[in-house]
Structure 1
Amino acid sequence: MSFQDILLGTPTWVWVLLAVLVSRGMKAMKGGTAPLSKLGIVPALFVGWGLLHLLSDPATGWDTALMWVAGGVLGAGLGVALAKRSGMTVDRVRRTITLPGSAVPLVLILLTFAMKFRIGFEMATTPHIGVDSTFIVLNGLVSGAVAGIFAGRFLIYWLALRPAVEPVLERS
C-alpha cells in the first residue's frame, strides 16, 4: 500500500480533527489568555475520541475500558502536576486563565494522533490484529492516559477559577 493510498483512504473527518488539534497545540506554544471554555476544547476532544473508540470498536471489551480508566487516572495525575507547575495566572473577574507558552500540548497531540492513526491503519489493513487483545488493551491504556493528562490540566484550571472562599465570620 502506497503513502498516497493511505492518505486518500483516510476519512476526511480525521484530517479535520488533526487540523483542529494542531491549531490548538500551536496556540498553546504561544501562550496567552483564554476563557475556561476554550481551554476545555482539547480535553473534550480527547475524552470524546477515547469514549467513541470504546463504544464503537467491536473488539473492545471490559478489559480495554478498565485500562482506559486506569490510564485516565494516571494521566490525570500527571496533568494536574503539569498544570500546577505551568506558571498560570488567574483572573476571576474576567474568568480567564493566562498560560505561558508550552510545547507540551502540541507534542502530546502529535504523539497521540500518530499512535491512534497507526492503530487505526493496522486495524483496517490487518484483519487478525483485531483479535489481539493485548494490542486493543494497550490502545485503551494510552488513549486514556492522554485524555487524562488533558483532563487533569483542565481540572486545575477549573478549580483555579472557582470563587475565593469568603470567611463566614469576621473578627473585629
Structure 2
Amino acid sequence: MARTPKAMLEILQGTPLWVFGVFLLICYYGFKALRPTRESPSVLLITPCIFVFWSLFSLNYRGHLTMTLSAWLTGIAVGSATALFLFPTRCLTLDDAGRRLVVPGTWKILAIYLLFFAVRYFIGYQAAVHPERSNDVQIVLIACTVSGFTVGLFCGRATSFYRKWLKLRVT
C-alpha cells in the first residue's frame, strides 16, 4: 500500500512527544561527534552500557526467548567486528596530560544513532498500528539483530579505543 504525504504526516502527528525529544538528543550527540573530543576511559565505556541496557529492555522476548537472544548476540558479534573497520585506532592520541584519548570527529556516530532510532521508530510504529504483528518472527528478528548490531558497533568501538588508550599509556 503506497503512503501519501498526508498519511506520513498523520504518522508523525501520532508520534508521542518524548520520541521527538529522543531524536533531538541523539542528533545533538551525533553532531557533537563530528568534532574531535577528549574522552576519558570511563566515558568511553558509558555509551555502550547505555545501549546494552536500552537494547535489552526494548527486546520482545514473548514466545521467542532463544531466537531473540540468538539474533541479538549475532548482531553484537557482527557489529563488534564491523566496528574494527569503521573506527580505526591509528589516528588516536593521548592529550597533553596523558589521561584522555583524543578522538577525531566522525559522521559515523551520527549515522549509527540515526540507524538505531529509525529501526526503533519503525518497530514502535508497527506495534502501534499493527499490534497483532509485533510478535511476528520477522519483526522480532529485525528488531533484535539491528539492536544487537548497534550495540556491537559501540561495544567494539569502545573496546578497541580502550585497548589503544592502554597501549598509549604504556608507551
Corresponding residue number in structure 2 for 1:76: 80
8 Å Cα contact 1:72/1:146 also seen in 2:
yes
Distance (Å, rounded) in 1 between the aligned partners of 2:46 and 2:88: 19
Alignment of 1:34 with 2:33, yes or no, is: no
- Matched to 1:132, the amino acid is D
Q: Does 1:135 align with 2:144?
A: no
- On the 8 A contact 1:71/1:142 being kept in 2, the answer is yes
| Cα distance in structure 2, aligned partners of 1:107 and 1:88 | 20
Q: TM-score, normalised by structure 2?
A: 0.80
Letter in 1 for 2:122: R
Q: Give the match's secondary structure for 1:78.
A: helix
1:63 maps to which residue? Answer: 67
**2:163 counterpart (155, 159, 164):** 159
CA shift for structure 1 position 109? 0.6
CA RMSD of aligned residues (A): 2.6
Residue 87 of structure 2 aligns to a residue whose secondary structure is: helix
Task: Specify which of 51, 59, 70 is matched with residue 56 of structure 2.
Answer: 51
Aligned residue runs from structure 1 range 119-134, under 5 A: 119-134=123-138
Q: CA deviation at 1:27?
A: 1.3
| Structure 2 portions without partners, runs of 5+ | 1-6
Partner of residue 10, structure 1:
16
Secondary structure at the aligned position of 2:71 is classed as helix
Matched, 1:22 2:27: yes
Asked if the contact 1:92–1:162 (Cα under 8 Å) also holds between the matched residues in 2, the reply is no
How high is the sequence identity, in percent, across the aligned residues? 25
2:52–2:151 Cα contact (<8 Å) kept: yes
